[in-house]
Amino acid sequence: MESINPATGELLKSYEPWRDAQLETALAESAVAAPAWRATPFEERARLMRNAAAELRRYAARYGALVALEMGKLLKEARAEVEKCAWGCEYYAGQAAEFLRDEKIETDAGSSYIAYLPLGTILAVMPWNFPFWQVFRAAAPALMAGNTMVLKHSSNVPQCALAIEEIFRAAGFPAGVFRTLMIPATQAEQLIADPRIHAVTLTGSEAAGRKIAAAAGAALKKTVLELGGSDAFVVLADADLEQAASVGVTARFQNCGQSCIAAKRFILVPEIAERFIALFRQKAEALKAGDPLKADTTLAPLARADLRAQLHRQVADSIQAGARAVFGCAPIAGPGYFYQPSMIDQVRPGMRAYEEELFGPVAIVIRAGDEDDALRIANDNRYGLGASVWTADAARGERFARRIQSGASFVNGMVKSDPRLPFGGVKASGYGRELSVHGIREFVNIKTVWIR
């Protein structure tokens, strides 16, 4: 498990994976903690969760710098991620008791109701691209619901993984309520069969989701999967192009394009296609690659060398198949894993850029014949995580948004997650929901109680 600075390629720190005895100790500790944590009143859980939020805010600069160093995120984006984690903790501290309050149902019983009770220990398998937020958006509701959690984080962000456990410990959570497991991904699949694991949540690739779902299915354990996305960014003829292009650049290049809900497919109707591309190019080419810790850097590196190589193969193969390079489309020479801000046009079915998710700073343009064709193209994709549509007519945008096959559709706004709104996808983007009332109810026993 290696922590490497993506901006330089420098090895920061390395860790040996745990031996079986170390893993057994952590699992046993979580199992021992589970009954007492389950019985802990909501008020006490909320107090500790607010402590975690305070810890995140108190040391936001430190944790933000760690994220920037370990996975290459711009420092301002990394600090915003840490602040968002604090918000998520505070949100569930304030709402969990109401979300999980017993729900009375009138039946032929003297009294009947639905109780929302914890399942036990949740295994969280998390990715590197938002190394704090992805964990906290799963952990905050799961812990507030009375579950314990063990984390298998991505192997290239081990320092972030250990820091998150330290945050919960510093906040006063009892030993074993949250543990980071320093194990490889292959061991996570095997771990699912352990009877001390009661459910699994995964954020990651489609391939990882299929493996985790298969292992959990064999063990008859609940899963929530938030997988890849190839979000449509649809620009209609009456859109404010200046605004759409500005937000589009942010939506595509934030986190160096390494986001499941980044705008990836720019679907343009004929009336505005050339003007939008020109505006987008002007804004994207102004991005400055460099040290993520420096304030004037606006384009981060990719997180790993292999990710950059894979992205470039996808781009090169698409261009060879007939797509047109508008700008960029090559790695940046020198240290680190930087890639030019890029756009490819004339992308068509059968090309890798059309069929696959491009996880990096490359925008793809798909030209639509008209508005109906734009909707068809938006839905002609294996993924269904997020989407946005841009138009001067909000009602028109809403009608369009409701017809897009995705877990979230935004009108005149960048797709984002919010603790108050459910987050997740359809089709190959996975199933289940995180955040909001729906997220906290994913990992509870929805139990009927009937009394004569």
Q: Let me know whether 31 and 60 are in one domain.
A: yes
Q: Let me know whether 98 and 73 are in one domain.
A: yes
Q: Let me know whether 65 and 172 are in one domain.
A: yes
Q: Let me know whether 141 and 177 are in one domain.
A: yes
Distance (Å, whole) CA 14 – CA 281: 40
Distance (Å, whole) CA 337 – CA 331: 8
Tell me if residue 160 is catalytic.
no
CB atoms < 10 A from the CB of 340, how many?
18
Please say whether the beta carbons of 288 and 345 come within 8 A: no
Q: Let me know whether 160 and 255 are in one domain.
A: no
Rounded CA Rg of the chain: 22
Q: Is the pTM of this model over 0.95?
A: yes
How many domains are there within the chain? 2
Is 284 within a domain? yes
Distance (Å, whole) CA 82 – CA 86: 7
Is 148 within a domain? yes
Which one of 81, 165, 189, 226 is the catalytic residue? 226
Tell me if residue 226 is catalytic.
yes
Q: What's residue 175's pLDDT? A: 98
Q: What's residue 189's pLDDT? A: 87
Cross-strand bridge partners of residue 384: 426
Please say whether the beta carbons of 266 and 300 come within 8 A: no
Distance (Å, whole) CA 243 – CA 275: 12
Is 424 within a domain? no
Q: Let me know whether 17 and 128 are in one domain.
A: yes
Q: Let me know whether 17 and 146 are in one domain.
A: yes
Q: What is the CATH number of the domain that holds 136?
A: 3.40.605.10
Q: Which residues of the chain have pLDDT under 50?
A: none
Is 120 within a domain? yes
Please say whether the beta carbons of 75 and 65 come within 8 A: yes
Q: Let me know whether 296 and 186 are in one domain.
A: no
Is 247 within a domain? yes
Distance (Å, whole) CA 84 – CA 53: 9
Is 423 within a domain? no
Q: Which residues of 146-175 are buried (b: 16+ CB within 10 A; e: fewer)?
A: bbbbbbbbbbbbbbbbebbbebbbebebbe
Q: Let me know whether 359 and 435 are in one domain.
A: no
Q: Let me know whether 199 and 241 are in one domain.
A: no
Cross-strand bridge partners of residue 117: 445
Q: What is the CATH number of the domain that holds 384?
A: 3.40.309.10
Is 27 within a domain? yes
Residue 425 Cα distances to 88, 156, 212, 418, 432, angstroms: 20, 25, 17, 15, 8
Q: Let me know whether 116 and 236 are in one domain.
A: no
400 SS3 class: helix
DSSP class per residue in 183-204:
--HHHHHHHTTSTT--EEEEES
- In degrees, rounded to 5, the angle at the alpha carbon of residue 65 between the alpha carbons of residues 9 and 86 is 135
Distance (Å, whole) CA 431 – CA 408: 13
Residue 291 Cα distances to 252, 258, 332, 338, 374, angstroms: 19, 17, 13, 10, 38
Which one of 85, 89, 256, 260 is the catalytic residue? 260
Q: Let me know whether 28 and 16 are in one domain.
A: yes
Burial class (CB in 10 A: 0-12, 13-18, 19+), 65: middle
Is 294 within a domain? yes
Domain of residue 359: give its range: 231-418
